[in-house]
Amino acid sequence: MLKEFAKAPNEAITYMGAWVQAGVLELKSRNRPVDPGMSERHLAWIGLLLESQEIMTNLLDPDKSDD
């Protein structure tokens, strides 16, 4: 997924947010408690995506790293 969304981090956030919402709805439909850490587990890797995007940008265009 890091490769797929490397140039579109906002879409990755939306995509994974939709999975969190689907998970919450499924748990509620089964009368199961919602895990408070579920959102963090689904969205925590977004930071890696943003870091990798910045690294690639700097490697491809070192002048942009001065911004």
The pLDDT mean for the chain works out to 81
Q: What radius of gyration do the chain's Cα atoms show?
A: 16
pLDDT band at 12 (very low <50, low <70, confident <90, very high): confident
Q: How many residues does the chain have?
A: 67
pLDDT in tens, 19-43: 899 999 999 999 999 988 888 887 8
Q: Which residues contact 39 (CB under 8 A, 6 or more apart)?
A: 20
pLDDT in tens, 37-48: 888 887 887 777
Global pTM value: 0.62
